[in-house]
Amino acid sequence: MTTGAQPDNKAFSLMLGLISFYLSTLTMLAPVIACAGIGVFWGVRKLPVSNEFITLLVTSFSMPALVFQTLYTTELDNATLIEVGLSSFISLGLMGIVIAVLLHYLKLPMRSLWLVTTFPNAGNMGLPLTYLAFGETGLSAAVIFFAVASFLQNSVCLRVFPSAGKSAGWFSPVLLASVTALLFRWLAIPLPDWLMEAVKMVGSISVPLMLLSLGLALTGIPSGGLRTGAFLATLRLTLGLLCTWLVSLVLGLSPEISGVIMLQMAMPCAVAAYMYTARYTNHAGDAAGAVMVSTAAFLILSPVILLLVGASIPGLSD
């Protein structure tokens, strides 16, 4: 009887462990879901709000302030910051090449769907989740990734759309804040406490505002294109992990740095990329489906993804 009971006990323990794992992950994601949920509620009820104001405030002031404060005060050394930036650039580059080849081979509109499939939602979803999963050190690395991805998505890679023209500018407040912070660190220039407190206060509003903006944006996305969108979402989530794993293996990244970049690269399709696709192409439905499906899939698969990237989930190690 004892021998027969052992498999049952093992199965029961495994089931309890799996339930605990998902509950722990859900607890960790609760702040992210709550903030985004307020945005969804606001959008569904069509309550008065200026999403343009939120976007402008975040991209021009609060996010650059968060980037500057994080990079200037981070405990990561300069060599590690450069390593993270280079790894982020290579991971995004490899992802972009693979996506371009696949879309061309499958005879899908490559120039229209490349941006939304390649770039992850590294800002309003990636930063808060990375902070919850890896703490302050992880956030510093995630900010570097976000700065690289933000610059590429909003300048160089925006030119993939033939009609983007001169609107694809090169100026990026986030990039400027990153370069300034790194320069001040390298030159060891001290800044007064009152200034750093002001920068910290302005930067602290960026994460909740980005999540609110994400919730609002999702309610405004049309439901068309779910079939193609689901395929693009699958590419975004799986290839994001695989490309970063390969880059981490080749470059010999530490497990924590590798985990942060893998988590960022496994994020859903970026809402900003959808907005660009809707503006410059006639494939808004496919891009919208990609954002919606990838966001829903990420939330469902998040425990597995967090386990793969080595995130520290409360209660998981018990």
Query: SS3 letters for 249-266?
Result: HHHCCCHHHHHHHHHHHC
Cα 260 to Cα 253: distance, rounded to the nearest angstrom: 11
pLDDT digits (tens, 9 = 90+) for 247-304: 999 999 988 899 999 999 999 988 778 877 877 888 877 887 888 888 888 888 888 8
Q: Are 303 and 22 in contact (CB under 8 A)?
A: yes
Residue 264's nearest CA partner among 180, 104, 153, 146 is: 146
| Mean model confidence pLDDT for the chain | 82
Q: Are 157 and 118 in contact (CB under 8 A)?
A: yes
More confident position, 90 or 19? 90
* Domains of the chain in sequence order: 48-213+224-308 (1.20.1530.20)
What is the pTM for the complete model shown?
A: 0.77
> In the structure encoding, which two tokens stand for residue 129, read together?
């989740």
Q: Are 292 and 218 in contact (CB under 8 A)?
A: yes
Q: Are 115 and 95 in contact (CB under 8 A)?
A: no
Q: Express as a percent the part of the chain with pLDDT over 70.
A: 86
Cα 123 to Cα 119: distance, rounded to the nearest angstrom: 11
Predicted confidence (pLDDT) at residue 56 exceeds the cutoff of 50: yes
> In the structure encoding, which two tokens stand for residue 48, read together?
């008065």
Q: Which amino acid is present at 44?
A: V
Per-residue pLDDT at 196: 92
Please report the sign of the dihedral spanned by the C-alpha atoms of residue 277, residue 280, residue 281, residue 284.
Answer: positive
Cα 295 to Cα 300: distance, rounded to the nearest angstrom: 9
